[in-house]
Every structure is written in C-alpha cells, then in structure tokens.
A and B are shown apart, each in its own frame.
Chain A
C-alpha cells in the first residue's frame, strides 16, 4: 500500500508505540500490563510500519529475523526459570536483587521475574511479526 498519510503517520506512531510497549512491559509487575501486552503493542507498531513501507523495509528496520527474536526471548524466559538454581530454590522461583539496598532502604529491585517478562515480550514480538511478515509477503 502506498499512502502518504500512512507513511507520514507511521514515522511518529511507530516510535510512540515502541516506547509505550516498553512502558507497558515495565509497568506489568504490579499493575495491568506486562510482557505479553507490551509485546503485542510493539508488534502492532511494527506491523503498521510494514503496511506503510512494505515488509522488506520493515525487515531491514528490525535488523534481526523475527523468528530468531522469538527464540532468543524463549531462551531468556527459560534462563529466568533456571536462575532459581542459584538460590537453591524450586524451579521458577523468582530471584531478587536489590541494587543499592541497605538498612531500611529497599533499593532498586531487579528480579528474574522481569527477565521472564522480557523473554515473553520478545517471544510475542517475534512470533507475531513472523506471521504478519509471511502474510504480507504473499499479498
């Protein structure tokens, strides 16, 4: 499709949606959001780009093969689950690290749960885009 309006709009929309998707991803731990929703939002943004500029351009902008992105995401999610072995905990137990935490200070919490969410985020982006690109290629 070659539409000037769509082309001009996607340039801003894609950036905004990608940013929003990261926001959704990080917000997800305690509030509505998370890796799945964030991944979908990002995938919609990139799909818009593919419709506006063609899949070739979109693949180039993405740099990596979407299926490889999904696989790396899956690997991260599994890594997050396996990290529990360090603490000697059952599989999938969340591991927490409080950066700068001390007496009475909680610090910045970083957890394997977040890593898992990032994994989900990448899996969703990768698999949705793999399907969308394949369908768009045909058209």
Chain B
C-alpha cells in the first residue's frame, strides 16, 4: 500500500533526473516527459480507485510510526487532487512538445516541469505540516526556475515580484509552523486535530490560524494578497503559465481547505468568518480587474483570482453542501483554467499577438479552435450545462441555505461579469476580422505542431463536457470527499493506526 502512495511523488522526480541527463540528445527529453506523465496518470488513477474502495490510506516512511515519522496519507480529496494534477501535467507535457523552444529545453524546462509536479503531488499527499512546507518549497523553487527560464526581460520583471511575495509567504508559513509546534509539540496533521483542542490558551491558536491563513492566502492569491499573480502569470511561455494557472494557486487553496477543516475548527465563527469576507472581495476584485484588461492572458490571470474566491467561499460557509461545492469547483476549475491558457497560446501563434485589439479573425480561420475556446470559457462563466454551472449552483445554493444572501448575490454578479470578459475575448479574438490582414493571412500552423497544441485542448474540453453532462457521479464523489473533510475521524484513524 505504501508504494501506491509514494509512486505519484517519486515517478516525476525520477523522470526529472532522466530528462535532465538526456536533455542534449535531441527530442528524447520531451518524449520521456510525456511518457512519464502517462505513467503518472496511471498511478494516480490506481491510487484514487484504491482510496475509493478502501477509504483513507496512510503510510509511514521508513516504518517510523506517526506522529514521529513522516506520514503520507491520501483521502478522497487528496487523491482526486493528485489525479487532476496528473491530467493537467499530461496535457501540458503534450502541449510543450510544440510550445517550448530548443533553448529552453537545453536549460532544463522538462526537468523543472517534472520537479514542479513532484512538489504539487507531495503537497497533496503529505500528512505532516512541516513536510507540507518542504513540498511547497520544492514546488516554488521549480516554479521560480520555470518562470525566469530563458530570461526575457519581461519574465525577469514578473519573476522578481513572484519570488518576493512567495518568500514572504514561506517565511510566515514557517513561523506559524514553529509557533504551532511550540504550543502543541506535534506537526502531524492528524495528531494536531486533537492536540490543538487541548491547548489551554485558545487565543494563541486562533492567532496561529490567522498566520496560516495569510501564508496560504498569498499562495492562493486571495484578496488583498493577490497582486503578484497578474504581474507574473502572463510573462512565461504558455506551457509554463498554463500549469501555473491550473495548479499552483490551487495548492494554496488545497492547503487552506486541509488546514481549516482538519486542524483549526475551534473558532469557526471567527476564522471562517474572515474567510467569507475574503471570498466575497476576492471574487469581486478579480472579476473587476479582468474587465479592465486588454490582453488575453492578463484577463485570464485576473479570472484565476475571482475563481479562487468561489473555492474559498465553499470552505468559509463550512456546511456539507458548501464543501461539496468547493471540491467540485476545484476539480472543474483546474481543467478549465489550464485549458483557457493553452488556447491563448494557440491564438497568439496564429494571430501574432496577445493584445485583444491586435488579434482577430480566429473563428474564420479555425472554427474548431473557436469551439474549443467556447467550452472552457463559458464553463468558467457558469453556463448550463457546462461543468462550471453545477459548481456555481452548488455554492450559491449552499450560501442561500444558510441565509447568506449577500454572498450569493456577489457570486452571481461575479458570474455575470465573467460572461462579460469571456464575450470580450470571444468578440475580439475570434469574431472580429484581423486588423491587419482582414482575416485572410493568419498564420497556418504546420500539421504536427497543430496536433500537439490542439490535442490537449480537446482532451481537457472533453473532460469539461463530461463533467457538465454527467455531473451525478462527480457529485457523489465530491459528497464523499466532503464528508471525509467534515468528519476527519477516518483520516485520523488511518494515520495513527497505520503501520505499513
């Protein structure tokens, strides 16, 4: 059992080593990266099936029992996040076949990409707060490398902001871990679940909880800590920013959900009350910021922020339905967001610009691409019957159920404004004729390049459609995952009782 838990973390790191060592041997590296991602997807599916059948599974590294050793643990929420990371990883690895130039390949793009996947999966599977910090570091350092790889001036500018803010977040995270260890004497999350309640001075616990909230808040780009994200995400190659957009901030959201369902649930009115306000402001500022932008990827970057608000909303309401919504939203959102970034890359290649005013005519040049944009874009906005509709429906219903009418209204207004942004892109990039060539002379991509760019987009759009048309099994799944989050007794039992 322990091997199934270890595999999603160890596989990418092994692939990273191999890919780095063969990076000078022509195309070997990029194909190895794709093969690694296929295997990664396979083990992630196996892990999810195992968790679905057996319930929460845990493993102690080196046989040192919890809470002393390092624990890996997978509940349904963690396992599904690993699966989504693997799906995104595979899509981006295929896309990178055409998108990453030789120079960046030689500098080690594929190795850093695999290291990033390692860090992300490690963060989803660890059962120990300090270990979570280590995986954050692995992930963040790989992302620093990816962000500045190739060293364009614009990239370095975005990179500096990204690095600074992430270092602040990391320091806060570490300080919070230190204090938590000081008052409880343990960092094993299952152990903390009980230990935190036994601390005499509950005021200190709440203070530490807020520190964690700020640290993870910076990582997940919530209001008012989001400004690094739009500054950085539009600068690197699309194959980098797509995986950032899909996965990185969502690891922050994952950590928020994990910590504020498993550990800090003593003073829910206070901590989750803050989160509720944060969620509302995040949704609104993100979507309003997007309305002011005129570049494809900048608009999408601001929409990441507003969408994070929805997920935090699910956590903040802290009812079973709201958590189901949050899990559902995360799964739907990662697929959709990564896909939109991938589309923006193809659009730039064909129209020659990311600026809305300088591009156009894509619908005439490629109706297929237009449809493949339409699906994730309107799913993001929450059009029925696409996946985003069900996710938003669950969250709005959850807020109405507990009488938070204002927040439900904010969520709906944000949805409408998202439609506005998406139609803006649709009208400017796809519908209107190209300003220079009058729609006739858009760049035609060579067949092989076209295939490796559009296949992953089609794959992710297909997933969005499946979730949209058959939401029932996904709902049942999210329900079970949310129940495990709300009642962590199975999680705690698996960790403290596991010996293999």
Contacts and interface: CB of A to CB of B under 8 A. Distances in A.
Given A89-B63, A91-B59, A93-B63, A67 B2 contact: no
Contacts of B108: 67
B3 A91 contact: yes
B20 A91 contact: no
Contacts of B60: 90
A67 B20 contact: yes
A49 B61 CA distance: 40
Contacts of A84: 62
Interface stretch (B6-14, B126-134, B244-252, B356-364): B6-14
A89 B2 CA distance: 9
B62 A68 contact: no
A78 B21 contact: no
A74 B16 CA distance: 10
B17 interface: yes
Given A67-B20, A85-B3, A90 B13 contact: no
A82 interface: yes
Main SS at interface, chain B: helix
Interface string A70-99: 010011001001101100011111100000
Interface string B30-68: 000000000000000000000000000001111100000
Interface residues of B, number: 18
A82 B62 contact: no
Name which of B3, B6, B60, B62 has the most chain A CB atoms within 10 A of its CB: B62
B500 interface: yes
Contacts of B3: 85, 91
A93 B62 contact: yes
B2 A71 contact: no
Contacts of A85: 3
A71 B16 CA distance: 9
A90 B59 contact: yes
Contacts of A74: 13, 17
B20 A90 contact: no
B61 A71 contact: no
**What 6 A-B pairs have minimum CB-CB distances, sorted nearest first?**
A92-B62, A92-B61, A91-B6, A90-B2, A90-B63, A75-B17
